[in-house]
Amino acid sequence: MYGLKPDPCVLEVPDKYYSTGDYEKGVARWCPGCGDHSVLSAVQRLCQEKQLPPEKTVFVSGIGCSSRFPHYMKTYGFHGLHGRAFPVAEGVKFRRPDLNVFVVTGDGDCLSIGAGHWIHSIRYNMNLTVLLFDNQIYGMTKKQTSPTSPMGTISNTHPHGSVLPPINPVQSTLGVANVSFVAQTADWIPGHLYATIKAAHEHQGFSFVKIMMRCTKFLPEQAKQMVGDKEHMTLLQHPDGIEVDMATANLFKHTVQHDPKDINKAREYSEDPDMFYLGLYYQDKTAPRYDLYGAHNLGATPEQKLQVLEEEFDKFAV
């Protein structure tokens, strides 16, 4: 009616509001009790809380149990070749910086055949949220030793027990030049899992999250031991670290104050053979990002790009 003032109690409603169901797709075909289910729920919750448009969100994976992840997200996805998730994700982010790009990879996919791409991706520090599902075994191919299998692990490739020390993903990542975000969490602690993935997504750069994962199919006893062992699990706490509620913090018997700017202390914690530290090991918000370097010509027309190329070629004309 004419002359009436707007009601101050009326809230502005966005044109589109996404519910959790807007990110759910199909029934996940992982084994019952597999930790992958927990991560899927946490990621779908994050997408809903952050209101990430499905058409602006991409999940890239390689090969393995973890790499089925894009099939269960109603977003864009790329299920790539074994060990090749990082170059695909970097290509997407390099030319489409407006997209939210996640990389989902496993201990075999990332740390074995994909190790070369993994190391250089850390150094490039492109704005990617990387989730490493580490269950310490090759699950999809039915129980072979993986790069993170502890010594003595009985598998189809080492029936008498694995004989080499495993790769430490956190320790290795912290040793690469230009590292900017390294964290560790566990699939059976949902509060910490979600808070860690959220912090990784909010970080502007290469966010590396190692997720300690249960494999209830091939390592059931180890899975039970991991969940019940509170003596060898410590929560990293700091105002600049991973924020968790009191109920989650109370699940830990041991806590320690750790400044995520202290990379030397982070490396010390990562090398501790008797303790798993959950939380933010290291963060550097000032580390150079390669995706920003390549974004300066995104608005150029084909004609402008051709002109630049011709000018460069002319410098070598004889």
Considering only CA atoms, which of 258, 227, 253 is closest in space to residue 242? 258
Question: Using one digit for the tens of pLDDT, what is the confidence trace for 92-102?
Answer: 999 999 999 99
- Give the pLDDT mean for 188-194: 97
Q: How far apart are the first and last CA of the chain?
A: 78
| pLDDT for residue 1 | 46
**Token duo for residue 140:** 């999809």
Residues of the chain with pLDDT > 70: what percent?
Answer: 96
Sequence spans of domains, the chain: 20-289
> Does 8 score more than 70 pLDDT?
no
CATH architecture assignment, domain 20-289: 3-Layer(aba) Sandwich (3.40)
Which residue bears the tokens 């150029």? 300
Does the pLDDT of residue 256 top 50, yes or no?
yes
Q: Is the pTM of this model over 0.75?
A: yes
Across the range 223-236, mean pLDDT stands at: 95
Q: How far from chain centre, in Å, is Cα 135?
A: 15
CB of 177 within 8 A of CB of 169?
no
60, 71 contact by CB (below 8 A): no
Q: Is it the case that residue 11 has pLDDT exceeding 70? A: no
pLDDT in tens, 298-317: 888 889 889 988 999 999 98
Cα–Cα distance measured from residue 222 to residue 237, given in angstroms and rounded to the nearest whole number: 27
Quick one: which of 182, 269, 259 has its CA closest to 232? 269
Name the strand (E) or helix (H) holding 133: strand 129-134
Q: What are the tens digits of pLDDT across the range 24-73?
A: 999 999 999 999 999 999 999 999 999 999 999 999 999 999 999 999 99
Q: Which amino acid type is present at position 314? A: D
Q: Percent of the chain scored above 90 by pLDDT?
A: 88
Q: Summarize pLDDT for 135-155 with one digit per residue, the tens.
A: 999 998 899 999 999 999 999
